[in-house]
């Protein structure tokens, strides 16, 4: 397994002919974004083929509960660090959302709610309302996630395939393995090289190193 830094360096060397230099066409943030884009592409293709997400791609997030961010005793609101990968028109990378309780019998199912209009319809019906305690309703608007349940959820757990895995606060660029299966990495690199890097690599690199450039300006 490799870190995102190692994968970014591999991509950079593939374009530069395996030559390591202190200057190049690409900066690290741009390389990370390309790695994330390539990962999203190959994971989406894998999902469409096998109808399930690769286990190695799934991350777990424990959002911090902020009482000042809440506006109802039945609503738990959290800001997501990244969107989920979109698999198709109706399904994305969210795998589980709800309580982080280790008691499996008390962990409730979750149900995705597409809009506030749909949520209002569910709330009006005593059989389908999440206030019944039978499930947790999940509404995502941009990066704002709202959990609607019988009781407020102060210790939620979110597992899924995030679009930008390195956006999670606990993700360590230097030490954490990048969330993708080892056998998908060659396909990811091929996609990046064919779709983006070929055109970008045609640009001239800054041939003056940072240290030399600094000396010239003094």
Domain for residue 33, yes or no? yes
Residue 85 lies in a domain: yes
Residue 213 lies in a domain: no
Q: Return the higher-pLDDT residue of 81 and 100.
A: 81
Domain that includes residue 73, residue range: 59-160
Determine contact, residues 174/9, Cβ cutoff 8 Å. no
In a domain, 42, yes or no: yes
Q: Cα-flanking dihedrals φ and ψ of residue 74, to 5°?
A: -105, 0
Residue 135 backbone dihedrals phi, psi, to 5 degrees: -160, 170
Whether 42 and 100 map to the same domain: the answer is no
**Is the same domain home to 50 and 97?**
no
* Mean pLDDT, rounded, for 3-14: 92
- 167 phi/psi in degrees, rounded to 5: -80, -15
Half-sphere exposure of 24 (CA within 13 A, CB side): 23
**One domain for residues 81 and 137:** yes
Tell whether 84 and 71 lie within a shared domain: yes
Examine residue 46 and state whether it is found in any structural domain, yes or no. Answer: yes
Tens of pLDDT, residue by residue over 18-57, are 555 555 567 899 999 999 999 999 999 999 999 999 999 9
Judge if 24 and 86 occupy the same domain: no
Whether residue 209 is contained in a domain is answered as no
What pLDDT, on the 0 to 100 scale, is given for residue 185? Answer: 96
**Of 200 and 87, the one with more pLDDT:** 87
Residues 104 and 176 in one domain: no
Phi then psi dihedrals of residue 77, to 5 deg: -110, 135
Average pLDDT over the chain reads 83
Q: What is the pLDDT of residue 90?
A: 84
* pLDDT value of position 135: 87
Q: Cα torsion at 163, 165, 169, 174 (round to 10°)?
A: -150
Please tell me the predicted confidence (pLDDT) of residue 168: 96
Residues 92 and 152 in one domain: yes
Q: How far apart are CA 33 and CA 16, in angstroms?
A: 18
Same domain, 66 and 113: yes
Please determine, for residue 216, whether its predicted confidence score (pLDDT) is greater than 50.
Answer: no
Chain segment 159-196, per-residue pLDDT in tens: 999 999 999 999 999 999 999 999 999 999 999 988 87
What's the mean pLDDT in 76-101? 89
Residue 215 lies in a domain: no
Residue 212, in any domain of the structure = no
- 123 and 199, same domain (yes or no): no
What is the tally of structural domains in the chain?
Answer: 2
């Amino acid at each position: 397994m490799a870190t995102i830094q190692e994968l970014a360096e591999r991509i950079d060397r593939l374009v530069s002919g395996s030559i390591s230099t202190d200057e190049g066409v690409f900066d690290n943030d741009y390389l990370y974004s390309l790695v994330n884009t390539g990962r999203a592409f190959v994971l989406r293709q894998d999902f469409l083929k096998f109808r399930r997400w690769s286990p190695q791609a799934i991350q777990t997030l424990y959002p911090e509960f902020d009482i000042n961010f809440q506006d109802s005793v039945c609503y738990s609101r959290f800001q997501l660090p990244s969107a989920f990968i979109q698999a198709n028109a109706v399904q994305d990378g969210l795998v589980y959302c709800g309580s982080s309780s280790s008691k499996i019998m008390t962990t409730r199912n979750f149900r995705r709610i597409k809009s506030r209009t749909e949520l209002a319809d569910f709330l009006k019906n005593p059989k389908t309302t999440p206030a019944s305690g039978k499930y947790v309703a999940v509404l995502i608007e941009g990066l704002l996630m709202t959990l609607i349940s019988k009781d407020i959820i102060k210790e939620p757990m979110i597992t899924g395939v995030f679009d930008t895995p390195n956006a999670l606060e606990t993700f360590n660029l230097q030490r954490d393995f990048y969330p993708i299966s080892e056998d998908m990495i060659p396909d990811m690199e091929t996609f990046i090289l064919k779709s983006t890097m070929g055109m970008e690599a045609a640009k001239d690199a800054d041939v003056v190193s940072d240290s030399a450039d600094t000396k010239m300006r003094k």
